[in-house]
Structures are given as C-alpha cells and as structure tokens.
Amino acid sequence: MKKKGFTLVEVLLTLFILLGSVFIFGQYSRLFYKMEGMDNIYQKLTDLSISKIEELKSGRIYINGEEHLILGDVDEIIIFEEEDCKIEVHMKDVPHLSDLKYVNIQVSSKKSQYRYHLIRFVHFKRNELPRSYDEISVET
C-alpha cells in the first residue's frame, strides 16, 4: 500500500533548510543596513567638511549660525560642535609663500568613531578683490 505525504525526516530537513536560509539572509540584511548607516555618517562628515572649507574661502566661518571672520594673518585653531559633530579647523602659514595657508578641517562624529579630514592650501589675495582666493587640492 502506497501512502501519500511527507515523512518526519523530510519535514525536518525542509525546516532546517528554510531556517538556514532565513538566518543567512538576516545576517546579510543586518550587514547591509550597518554598511548603509556607516555610509550615511561618512557622507554627512564629508558634506560638513566641504561646507566649512567653502565658508573659510570667503574669509569667514559660521559657528552655530553666527558669522565669525577669519583673520588669516596668524595661525588659527578653531574647535566647535555642530550637527552632532566635533569640528576642528587648523590654519597654518606656509613658510616662504605669502598669504598661502595650509587648512586642515577634521570632522568627527560624536555618535561613532568615524572621522574625516579635508586638507587644502588656500591663497588669500591681499592686493586684489577682498576675500578672493585660489585653492590647491591635496589628495589624502
């Protein structure tokens, strides 16, 4: 007599394969969401760094919505917090090159260990239009 249906071994094997597939898919999904979150944080740090270097090129920087002028005559270190990030701006004179500044902007996330550095050389022209500049990019 032939019986139709599944044996207990077949049902258990099917359940084992199904649960294994769900577990593997869940691990990849969790990894994907974690990587997407890291990418979002890194993008935020990058955008904030670029925004601050653009402000500096105009001879000013906005800290918590307030405008601050950058003198450009002395080495400056500016540290402040904005958008859940710690921002450090280091400006140094480049020896033997007048009005050329080495600018290093470091933005750190307060919620994670991620940090982004943006380094530029900015030349503030004193004898031409006020607040005009040239920029030299440095790949890091």
Q: Give the pair of three-digit tokens for residue 112.
A: 């994670």
Whether residue 110 is contained in a domain is answered as yes
Number of other CB atoms surrounding residue 46 within 10 Å: 13
CA trace torsion 112, 45, 138, 65 (10° rounding): -130
The one-letter amino acid code at 113 reads Q
Give this prediction's pTM.
Answer: 0.62
Whether residue 50 is contained in a domain is answered as yes
Please list the helix, strand and coil fractions of the chain in percent, rounded to the nearest 5, in that order: 35, 35, 30
Q: What is the pLDDT of residues 77-124, one digit of tens each?
A: 888 998 889 999 888 888 877 677 888 999 998 888 888 888 888 776
**Number of independent structural domains in the chain:** 1
Whether residue 3 is contained in a domain is answered as no
Whether residue 1 is contained in a domain is answered as no
Residue pair 124/72 in contact (Cβ under 8 Å)? The answer is yes
C-alpha separations of 105 from 54, 93, 102, 117, 119 in Å: 11, 15, 10, 6, 6
Rounded Cα gap, residues 102 and 91, in angstroms: 6
Whether residue 128 is contained in a domain is answered as yes
Whether residue 2 is contained in a domain is answered as no
Q: Which domain holds residue 53?
A: 8-137
Q: What is the pLDDT of residues 65-75, one digit of tens each?
A: 888 877 656 67
